[in-house]
Amino acid sequence: MRRLHLAFLILVSWSSLPAGSAWACRYNVLEVGFIDLGIEPYHLLGYVDQSTPASLVSTFEDQATIALIDTNVKFELVRVERDPNHPALEYLSEHKITEFPAAVLVSPDQQSRAIPLAGPQDSFAARFSAAVESILTSPKRAEVLSRAAATYGVVLLIEGPNEAENDIARIAAQAAVSEVAAQMEFMPKPIAHPPEVVTLKAESLRDEEVLLWSLDLKPEDVNVPCAAVIYSRGRWIGPLFRGEQITQEHLERILFVIGADCECGLDHRWLQGTMVPLRWDQTLQEATAKSLGLDPESPMVKMEMISIIRRGMGGFSAPGIPFGYREVEVGSEVATPIEFVEEEEEADLPETTAESVTPVESAEPVEPAETTEPAPPKRHEEVPPIPEGVVPTHQRSTPETQPVDGEGPTATPVLGLGLAGLAVCVIGMGVMVFMRSKKS
C-alpha cells in the first residue's frame, strides 16, 4: 500500500508541473556565464634576460602571483636566453622590445599589448604594481562589471566624435534594452533586473585603453559610435557593432540569447564569449549571488554548470597549460552572419548559345578538386543562427487585450493542465479504494 501511495504522489506531482518544465535546463545562459573555467585566460608574459638582477626577477614573480589572485590573468616568466624557441619570444619583435625586464599582455583571442615597465630598477616594484592595476581595472570597466553582476546585462555604448551619430546609436541601444525588459516575463527563468545601457564618453577613451583593447579597439580608431554586449562575469558576447550596425534588431538578437535556456542549442564557445581583463572580488561575487538567488561559486552549482558547458563545447582541454594559446572555432556548419551591408547587384553576363561554345577535342578526365569546408564563424565576427524559441514571440498584454479569467488564449493550456491533474487524482483514488476493498 505504501508503494501505491508513493506512485500516486509522484504521478500527481509530475502532472502538476507546467508543460516543458520537466525537461528544461535548471539554468539560463546568464547564470552559466558567471562560471570561470579558467581554460581561456589572459596571459601576462614577463621577460627577463641574463643582465636582470636576481632580486628584481624575484620581485617580478612574487608581485605578479599576489596581484593576480581572483583574476582571469595568468603570469608566466620568460627567460629570454634560456629558451630561444619559446613561442612568447615572437612578441618581443612584434613590439620592438629590446630592454628588460619587460611585459606583454596576450588575450584569449591572441591579441597582444606591450605593458610599459621602463625606468630605474629601484622603482620597478611600484611601476609593475601600477601596470598590473591598469590591466585589471579602470573607472568605466568597474561600472560595467558591477552592472553586469547585478542585472540582465549591459550594452556598452562607446561614443564617437559625432554627436548626431551618438544620439542615433543611443536611441537604438535604449530601444533594445526596453524591448528585452518587456519580454523578460516570457523567458524560461525570471531575471531580477533588466539590461542597462552604459555609455563611455569620447573624452574618456584614453582612460579605458585596456578595455578597448580587449574589444579589439584603440582610442584613435573610434571614429564612429561602437556597441558591445557584456553580461555575467564580464563576458563580451557577439560582434562589436560599429556605426550603422548599431540597430535595435542587432542588439536584441544578442541580448535575447542571454535570457535563454542554457541548453538552447548554441555552441557554448560562442555563448561564453571573451571576458574582459578583470579582478572578480568578493563585492562582485556577493552582488551576483543576491541578483541570481544562488551562488555560482557553490561547489555543487559550479559542478553542474561545468558539466553543462562541457557538453555544449564537446569537451575541453584541461586548464592551466602554460602559454596555451589557441583559436577556438565555433560550430560545425557555416552560420549565417548578420548582414550589415547591402548585397551587390549581379553583373550582366552575355547569353551563352550552342554556337558560341567551342568543343574540346581531346579532353582528359579531370579528377574532382578537393573541397574544403569553409571555416566556421569566429565568436566576435559573426552571429550563428539563433535557434527557434530563443527570441520570445509573445507580446505584452494591453488593457484592451488583457484576457479575462477563464477566457482568451491563456485559458486553454491552464484548463488542460487542471483537467489532467484532476483525472490523475480520480484514477489514483479509485485504485486506492479498490485495493482496500479487495484487502478487506
Asked whether 301 and 262 are in contact (CB, 8 A), the reply is: no
pLDDT value of position 248: 97
Please tell me the distance from the alpha carbon of residue 269 to that of residue 314, in angstroms, as a whole number. Answer: 10
Q: What does the pLDDT look like over 163-201, one tens digit per residue?
A: 999 999 999 999 999 999 999 999 988 999 999 999 999
Q: Residues 186, 119: contact at Cβ < 8 Å?
A: no
Instruction: Point out which residues pair with 241 in neighbouring strands.
Output: 227
Neighbours of 199 (CB within 10 A): 18
Locus of grid cell 574582459 = 276
* DSSP states along 351-386: PP-STTPPPPSSPPP-PPPPP-PPPPPPTTT--PPP
At 198 the three-state DSSP class reads strand
Give 26's DSSP letter.
Answer: S
**Contact assessment for residue 136 and residue 71, using Cβ atoms and an 8 Å cutoff:** yes
- 8 Å CB contact between 238 and 377: no
> Which residues are registered as beta bridge partners of 261?
28
Total Cβ atoms within 10 A of residue 417: 15
Give dist(CA 241, CA 157) in Å, integer. 10
- Residue 360 has what pLDDT? 47
Q: Which amino acid is at 205?
A: L
Give the type of residue at 163. Answer: E
**383-430 residue pLDDT tens:** 655 555 555 554 443 334 344 444 433 333 434 445 556 665 666 666
Alpha-carbon distances of 135 from 46, 47, 78, 115, rounded to whole Å: 14, 17, 19, 9
CA separation for the pair 213, 215 (Å, rounded) = 5
Nearest to 246 by CA among 270, 280, 222, 262: 222
Strands (DSSP E) found in 60-171: 73-79, 102-106, 112-115, 154-158
115/132 Cα distance (integer angstroms) = 9
| Nearest of 319, 297, 307 to residue 262 by alpha carbon | 307
Positions of the chain with pLDDT lower than 70, given as ranges: 1-25, 262-268, 309, 311-379, 381-440
The per-residue pLDDT for 399 is 38
Query: Which residue type is seen at 319?
Result: P
95-113 burial code (b ≥16 CB/10 A, e <16):
eebeebbbbbbbbbbeebb
Query: Treating both helix axes as pointing N-terminal to C-terminal, what angle do 282-292 and 139-150 enclose, rounded to 10 degrees?
Result: 30
Q: Where are the alpha helices (DSSP H) in 16-89?
A: 29-32, 54-67
Chain centroid to CA 329: 14
336: CB partners within 8 A, 6+ apart: 385
- Least Cα distance to 148 among 229, 261, 204, 260 occurs for 229
User: What backbone phi and psi angles, to 5 degrees, belong to 163?
Assistant: -65, -35
User: pLDDT tens digits, residue range 10-41?
Assistant: 444 444 444 333 345 678 889 888 988 777 89
CA-CA-CA-CA dihedral for 280, 40, 82, 115, to nearest 10: -50
Stated pTM of the model? 0.70
Helix (H) or strand (E) holding 46: strand 42-48
Could you tell me how far CA 178 lies from the centroid of its own chain? Answer: 21
Spatial CA neighbour of 324 closest among 70, 136, 76: 76
Q: What is the dihedral of CA 307, 312, 313, 316, to 10 degrees?
A: 10
